[in-house]
Homo-oligomer: A and B are copies of this chain.
Amino acid sequence: MSDHENPAVTRILFSPNDMLARKFVKDLMRENHLTIREDAMGNIFGRLEGSTPAAGVVLTGSHCDAIPLAGMYDGTLGVIGAIEALAALQRAGYKPLRPIEVMMFTSEEPTRFGLSCSGSRAMAGALTPEVLESKLDSGGRHFLQVANEVGYGGASTQDMLDATRVAEGAVSHFVELHIEQGPLLQREGVDIGVVTAIAAPAALEVLFVGDGGHAGGQLMPDRNDAGLAGAELALAVERHVLATGSVDTVGTTGTFEIAPGAINSVPREARLAIDIRDIDGPRRDQVVAAVLKSAEEIAEKRNVRMSSRIINQDPPATCHADIVEAVAASAGALGLSTKRMVSRAYHDSLFMARVAPTGMIFIPCKNGWSHRPDEFSSATDIANGVSVLALTLARLSGGSWPKAEL
């Protein structure tokens, strides 16, 4: 179920392999006695009924899509692991009070339409038809067209979004189990990360345009080399991030394309995509502003034209104290060590936090690696994460254990 050979994973929204992954998830939910529902955006839910079916649901889940040549744990752990957590609770004879649902979100990764967290944005009412229809895939089609072809969607993008939005009070809590995607838990030998906040990225695109010319004939004083303007900006991003003095602030120039890109031509264009994240929204926005100011100064100094565009700039989210406490207590009951930490990666939790108290559980991953084929978490760490998730869901649901367990 990947467009690349194992262990590299590439799973693009609504591609044949994504549809196979969806069937696999639904089959697994069914085998584990969960009642399946899918919404108009293709978010998939598997429900374990509670003794008070009308109560707000305790929701958990993550995503199964993967960027090109990624690994097999990012996202997938929080879907398959959550189904296993519900299976374990059923095996143990646990009876939920609030219903518990495990879900798989549609398109957490931005691969196909350049928009991350499409499913959770829509559930949170944080996605407009204008924005969604402005995003086209490489075939020039938009979300609704592709969704309708595979059996989701609706009569219009507005209808689809309206049908996906979560009603107020419908979700009582949201918890996501995920690999850390950072090195701290492994480095410090800690079993479980109790997430207290989720950083949100800003993404910018900056384009520098000069006049190019021949690499031999164009004298140095006569040049306005767009590539060197780009190089200065990439280094300025790093400098502004480090100037905050905060380990929670990160900035990356992940794409840097120059044109014409010939060894005997002075670069005429440089196009940079820059990602800046922080758990502190105002501090993150200060870095964004400083980077844009540097872009202007560099353009002025190097006599190149500059244009920039904010791709997205979402606020960060704070995890709810009730869930932070439930996760910490569950890990404690299992004798596992914990560390309170922030998530610097983007997750559907960021948007779910707008509609319900939200929290996350992290497990260690090898060297902090992710978004690469050698992404890895051990079976022990996975089992620990699933156990903590199961106990956390039980606590939040407020149900009852068999007498023998008390």
Which residues of A come within 8 Å of B, CB atoms? Answer: 67-69, 110, 116, 180-183, 199, 201, 203, 211-222, 225, 227-228, 230-232, 234-235, 238, 241-242, 247, 249-258, 260-268, 273-275, 277, 311, 343-346, 367-372
Residue of B with least CB distance to A277: B216
Task: Tell me whether B68 and A345 are in contact (CB under 8 A).
Answer: no
A346 to B253, CA, bound (A): 34
Task: Tell me whether A250 and B216 are in contact (CB under 8 A).
Answer: yes
Task: Tell me whether A228 and B220 are in contact (CB under 8 A).
Answer: no
- What are the residues of chain B within 8 A of A264 when measuring CB–CB? 67, 110, 116, 201, 252, 254, 275, 346, 371
Quick one: given A214-B181, A216-B346, A253-B228, are A221 and B235 in contact (CB under 8 Å)?
no
A268 to B262, CA, bound (A): 22
Task: Tell me whether A217 and B273 are in contact (CB under 8 A).
Answer: no
Q: Which 9 A-B pairs have the closest CB atoms?
A: A181-B217, A216-B345, A231-B231, A215-B252, A182-B217, A216-B344, A263-B273, A254-B263, A231-B234
- How far apart are A192's CB and chain B's nearest CB, in angstroms? 17
Residue of B with least CB distance to A362: B217
Task: Tell me whether B242 and A220 are in contact (CB under 8 A).
Answer: yes
Among B67, B220, B227, B268, the residue within 8 A (CB) of A241 is B220
Not counting A217-B345, A255-B262, A265-B371, a sample of 19 additional A-B residue pairs whose C-beta atoms are within 8 angstroms of each other reads: A68-B262, A69-B260, A183-B219, A201-B216, A212-B369, A213-B372, A214-B368, A214-B371, A215-B275, A216-B275, A216-B277, A217-B368, A220-B251, A225-B238, A227-B254, A228-B235, A231-B231, A262-B371, A268-B372
- How far apart are A183's CB and chain B's nearest CB, in angstroms? 6
Task: Tell me whether B213 and A371 are in contact (CB under 8 A).
Answer: yes
A33 to B203, CA, bound (A): 65
23 contacts between A and B (CB under 8 A): A68-B260, A68-B262, A110-B264, A181-B218, A182-B218, A203-B263, A213-B369, A214-B370, A215-B252, A215-B277, A216-B250, A216-B346, A218-B250, A219-B247, A219-B344, A220-B238, A220-B251, A227-B254, A228-B234, A228-B253, A231-B253, A256-B256, A263-B274
Residue of B with least CB distance to A212: B372
Quick one: given A264-B275, A266-B252, are A370 and B217 in contact (CB under 8 Å)?
yes
